[in-house]
Amino acid sequence: MSWAQTFPALGEDTLRSLRQGIDGTFREFTREHGETLERLFDPLREFLLASERLLTTSPWPLVVLGLAALIWLATRSWRIVAGALAALLLVGAFGMWDDLMKTLSMIFVSTVVALVAGIPVGVLMSRSDRVQRWVNPLLDVMQTLPSFVYLIPVVMLLGIGRVPGLIAVVIYAIPPIIRFTNLGIRLVSRDLLEAADAFGSSGWQKLRQVQLPLALPTIMAGVNQTIMMALSMVVIASMIGVQGLGQPVLRAITNQYFAMGLFNGLAIVAIAVLFDRVSQAYGRRLQKHQGVNHG
């Protein structure tokens, strides 16, 4: 029964040459195309740097006022504005203002990128079952593959810093927005679409004026989830040189600084709660505003 004790794996040599082969091919690829790829992401880098510069170099009272105004516009709730301000100022008071701004900027940009890339994919998915069949397993992989696995190739291709960090964050954070967009559009009632057809709407009109508005509350739930997932990647992204609240957490881990880790961890929680309340309140407002609800 000795054959049943050890699993009949491929030989050590076969496996090694397989790994070496894959690594070698990838290395060739980075040598050939790394620079081109890197240049491709230049606009993204500029966007990241600009957003960070805006948040970190503007005087802090202006930033606070600006954020408060944004939150008010989104939620129309003084309670949320007051809570958000209290959270921001408290985090700032504990000396984490700069890191907070860097993280906010990173989360903002990755959310924008995830939405710009994710919503069209979600729309496509909702229109074709075949696309849905192909995209769904891919989304599963993106959500479950340990991030370090793709951090290695990303660093080889793009180096360390904000852009590779952003890519890692977006890979992890984009699935909810795709899934929820798809779901929201698929949930729009058939009768309404028939009515739209009866009025002679083109496909584009149907999408823009019927499906997307009706799916909006669901899509907002996706946005909310995307932001939360992006925030949960902050510490991992800092392992490839993204600055912000993740870095001190990392420092705390290696040094066993309990308090430092706790402060920065709680700061991440604070902005997560802030983002969550704001985006949920905004979603609810949209829903109320349009008086729709699908159950």
Partner 1 sequence: MSRLPLSLAAVSAALLLGACGQKTEAPANTQTASESASAQACGRVRIANMTWQSAELLANVDKLILSAGYGCDVELVAGDTMPTLTSMIEKGQPDIAPEAWVNAIREPLENAVKDGRLHYAARSLPDGGVEGWWIPKHVADAHPEIKTIDDALKRPDLFPSVEAKGKGAVHNCPSGWSCQITTENAFKAWGAKDKGFVLVDTGSAAGLDGSIAKASERKEGWLGYYWAPTAILGKYEMVKLDAGVPHDKAAYEGCNTRADCEQPAKTDWGHTEVVTVVTTDFKQRAGQAMDYLSTRGWSNDTVNRLLAWMGDNQATGEDGARHFLRTQPELWKTWVSPEVATRVEASL
H or E element in which residue 233 lies: none
Contact region for partner 1 (CB under 8 A) — 29-37, 70-78, 179-187, 264-272? 29-37
**Which of 30, 295, 284 minimizes the C-alpha distance to 156?**
30
Judge whether 285 and 76 are in contact, CB under 8 Å: yes
285 binds partner 1 (CB under 8 A): no
What whole-number distance in Å separates Cα of residue 32 and Cα of residue 27?
9
Residue 66 token pair: 């600006």
53 binds partner 1 (CB under 8 A): no
Site string for partner 1, 183-202 (x = CB under 8 A): --------------------
Q: How far are the Cα atoms of 102, 124, 210, 216 from residue 207, in angstroms, in the given order?
A: 36, 11, 6, 12
Q: Which is nearer to partner 1, 108 or 180 (CB)?
A: 108
Minimal distance, residue 31 CB to partner 1, in Å: 6
Contact region for partner 1 (CB under 8 A) — 16-24, 124-132, 138-146, 274-282? 16-24
Site string for partner 1, 74-93 (x = CB under 8 A): --------------------
Q: Which is nearer to partner 1, 162 or 179 (CB)?
A: 162
Contact region for partner 1 (CB under 8 A) — 22-30, 103-111, 112-120, 193-201? 22-30
Q: Which is nearer to partner 1, 134 or 148 (CB)?
A: 148
Q: Which is nearer to partner 1, 106 or 221 (CB)?
A: 106
Residue 200 token pair: 């002679």
Q: Which is nearer to partner 1, 95 or 159 (CB)?
A: 159
Minimal distance, residue 244 CB to partner 1, in Å: 10
Residue 118 token pair: 């994710």
Amino acid at position 38, single letter = E
For residue 128, give the DSSP letter.
-
Member of 44, 45, 54, 64 binding partner 1 (CB under 8 A): 45
Amino acid at position 195, single letter = A
Phi-psi region of 161 (alpha: psi -120 to 50; beta: other; left: phi over 0): left
Within 10 Å of residue 120's Cβ, how many Cβ atoms? Answer: 12
Site string for partner 1, 136-175 (x = CB under 8 A): ------------x--xx--xxx-xxxx-------------
Q: Contacts with partner 1 in 205-264 (CB under 8 A)?
A: 238-243, 247, 250-258
Helix (H) and strand (E) counts in the chain: 15, 0
Contact region for partner 1 (CB under 8 A) — 12-20, 131-139, 219-227, 275-283? 12-20
Find the DSSP H helices in the chain.
Answer: 2-5, 12-40, 42-57, 60-75, 78-91, 97-127, 129-144, 147-158, 162-187, 190-198, 203-205, 212-232, 234-238, 246-255, 258-290
What whole-number distance in Å separates Cα of residue 15 and Cα of residue 21?
10
Provide the CA 42 distance to its chain's centre, in angstroms: 19
Using CB under 8 A, list all residues that contact partner 1: 16, 19-20, 23, 27, 30-31, 34-35, 38, 45, 49, 148, 151-152, 155-157, 159-162, 238-243, 247, 250-258
